[in-house]
Amino acid sequence: MSKKLYTINTVNNFMEVIFNPFGKPFAEENPDIQVYNIMDDSLLSDTLKQGCVSPDVAGRMLQYALAAQSSGADGILVTCTSVNEATRYIKEFLRIPIMNIEEPTAQMAVDSGSTIGVLATLPTSPAAIGRVIQRYADKKGKAITIKNAVVDGAFDVLCSGDRARHDEMVCGALYELAKEVDVIAFAQISMSLLRHDPVSVPLCKIGASGFARIKELMDAPAK
């Protein structure tokens, strides 16, 4: 029987940075899963203005999740790290699985080192993925240190269509951060297509692992 996966996206170029590189291959590899996409870029815009996820943003996300569930969704994948606290609470109101796409990336980072670098291009992303990393570390009973690096302006450059300049800006920070940590977690899926030289530490990028994890949750027996 065919299943339905809905994604909730917060950037208007999600087809370029999320669906085409990650969602489309996932759909091709899983022909029994139909992938549908919801996009509201005000969710990220309002979160950046507030510096955190506001009740209004969380409320809109809940409405999108409930609409997806009403449309027959078997699972929901939220592709924006910055709003992951809303996802955490929304799951209590659904009868289907919902998760944020960076969750397996955070777990991989904890498994790969104790001094974890978090590389981001948005100011709200390090704290958001950092909370997930810390929760996994606490669950594992592992002491970690997190070092953040934010490349201011790179996200806007990418949204303007200048990927080459974006990559140049992010690579500078990547190479410097790699000298100080055991592993680096990319804080946003928009960074996952970064063109970079090899570095001496593992890189945990957001994308395919998130789609794989939500599939596992969709395939799991109902509780």
The domain locations on the chain are: 3-101+208-219, 103-204
pLDDT of residue 221: 81
Its pTM surpasses 0.85: yes
Is it true that 3-101+208-219 and 103-204 share their CATH fold? yes
Residue-by-residue pLDDT tens, the chain, 223 positions? 799 999 999 999 999 999 999 999 999 999 999 999 999 999 999 999 999 999 999 999 999 999 999 999 999 999 999 999 999 999 999 999 999 999 999 999 999 999 999 999 999 999 999 999 999 999 999 999 999 999 999 999 999 999 999 999 999 999 999 999 999 999 999 999 999 999 999 999 999 999 999 999 999 987 6
Q: What are phi and psi of 110, to 5 degrees?
A: -65, -40
Pick 103-204's CATH classification: 3.40.50.1860, 3.40.228.10, 3.20.20.10, 3.90.170.10.
3.40.50.1860
Tokens 């969380």 sit on residue: 58
pLDDT of residue 223: 60
pLDDT of residue 49: 95
Class of domain 3-101+208-219: alpha beta
Q: Which of 98, 102, 92, 170 is nearest to 131 (CA)?
A: 102
Largest CA distance in the chain: 49
Helix (H) or strand (E) holding 39: strand 33-39
Question: Would you say 75 and 63 are in contact if contact means Cβ atoms under 8 Å apart?
Answer: no
Other beta carbons within 10 Å of 31: 8
Specify the 3-state DSSP secondary structure of 31.
Answer: coil
d(CA 28, CA 74) in angstroms, rounded, equals 18
pLDDT of residue 163: 94
